[in-house]
Amino acid sequence: MNFELLANNVEKIHKVTSLYAKGAVNQLLTIRNWMIGFYIVEFEQSGNDRAEYGTQLLTKLSKKVEIKGLDRQMLGTCRLFYQRYPQICATVSRKLRGIDEIEMLPKEFDAENSYLKNVENQICDTASRKFEMPPDVLISRLSFSHLREILPIDDPLERFFYEVECIKGTWSVRELRRQISSKLFFRAGISKKPELLLRQVDSEDFSKSLTVKNIYSLEFLGLDGKEAVTESDLEEAIMEHLQEFLLEMGNGFCFEARQKRIVIDDEYYFIDLVLYNRLLHCNVIVELKVDKFRYEHFGQLNSYVSYYKECEMTEGDNPPIGILLCTEKGEKMVEYVLNGVDEQIFVSTYMLHLPDKKQLEEFLLAELKELGV
């Protein structure tokens, strides 16, 4: 294969799948993108002039084919799609048998399917089937827009988790994106009963601007290997990974201050983090603890929230909210402490390492049975 043949194949498969798109737009679009990825990888591995194009291959290819939507980024996505989902090869071969009489169909996908069948045997015979969505289900139940949200995830089990739950919950692309950004996979992994968490997710009112999680995943801070984590370490790591932290907190959060100094009864106090939620139009006071929840933690946070309510609110602001992040909490103690308190103080835990996947694996196998695949 040379570059001219690569460009020609991309143009041909685009035309073929476009002709047969009526009634099966999403499926054929997915197949088209997989096949484009297939050709790109084949060229990169064995193209006669691949060295000539090198790292500029996708840029030059997008200019050569001039197909709307197939820019450099999309071609890279197609390549990644092929690499992430080699099992689709069997479905591609089968789907194209009904249209192989078209003159422009590439010879690699002719009626005999000898070339693709060889690729299929090499890839699919070695692939693990235990946590792999059947290709027919993958193509028929998920649009490529859904798959595009899942593709960047490196962990195969995590990708499989979102495939299963997206199909089961009939999530929109927006809902899938939201669950990925909220680290649903990790939250389910550390839940004693992940099925209850997911049942709650499926019944959530997505119009709510703020959902305070019971558990926040802070593994991106890189503190897991540290022998003794102090509050200062935690705060410093959050500032170094502020973007990830704000995304983990949820929708609409903006950073306002760190170690905010306030004066109460002529004494100085310092608030760990002050955020602002532009959707709720209120300040969010965050206190960080590196130990288990204690009553005095609540007293401290409550005083800060009350101070902000009296002294810092401006016109148009709603009352502030307080979130206490600690390593663990006794549910009864939290219940007793917060009894009678308006919904403005929340106690959550955080984790600094990824969960054990064994429980999730068993759960996902049960979910597959429920889907009937």
Asked whether residue 356 is assigned to any structural domain, the reply reads: no
Asked whether residue 360 is assigned to any structural domain, the reply reads: no
Asked whether residue 202 is assigned to any structural domain, the reply reads: no
Do 248 and 347 reside in the same domain of the chain? yes
Of the listed ranges 162-176, 268-282, 308-322, 348-362, the one predicted with least confidence: 348-362
Asked whether residue 367 is assigned to any structural domain, the reply reads: no
Which CATH number do you get for residue 269? 3.40.1350.10
> Is the confidence at residue 140, as pLDDT, over 50?
yes
Do 219 and 119 reside in the same domain of the chain? no
**What pLDDT was estimated at residue 14?**
80
Q: Which residues are CB-contacts of 248 (< 8 A; sequence separation ≥ 6)?
A: 182, 183, 216, 217, 218, 220
Do 219 and 115 reside in the same domain of the chain? no
Do 227 and 117 reside in the same domain of the chain? no
Asked whether residue 174 is assigned to any structural domain, the reply reads: no
- Bridge partners (DSSP) of residue 322 are 285, 345
Asked whether residue 173 is assigned to any structural domain, the reply reads: no
Q: How many domains does the chain have?
A: 2
Among residues 98, 128, 158, the one where a domain terminates is 128
Do 221 and 347 reside in the same domain of the chain? yes
Among residues 128, 149, 168, the one where a domain terminates is 128
Please tell me the distance from the alpha carbon of residue 136 to that of residue 142, in angstroms, as a whole number: 10
Asked whether residue 93 is assigned to any structural domain, the reply reads: yes
Torsion of CA 59, 64, 69, 74, to 10 degrees: -30
Asked whether residue 113 is assigned to any structural domain, the reply reads: yes
**What pLDDT was estimated at residue 208?**
43
Q: In the block, which residue shows the tokens 């005999």?
A: 112
Q: What is the pLDDT of residues 241-286, one digit of tens each?
A: 998 898 888 778 999 999 999 999 999 999 999 999 888 889 999 9
Could you tell me if 351 and 190 are in contact, meaning their C-beta atoms sit under 8 angstroms apart? yes
Per the structure, the complete domain to which residue 328 belongs is given by: 215-351
Do 17 and 116 reside in the same domain of the chain? yes
Q: What is the pLDDT of residues 64-116, one digit of tens each?
A: 988 888 999 999 999 999 999 988 887 777 766 655 444 444 555 554 445 55
Please tell me the distance from the alpha carbon of residue 247 to that of residue 349, in angstroms, as a whole number: 16
**What pLDDT was estimated at residue 225?**
59
Among residues 109, 128, 147, the one where a domain terminates is 128
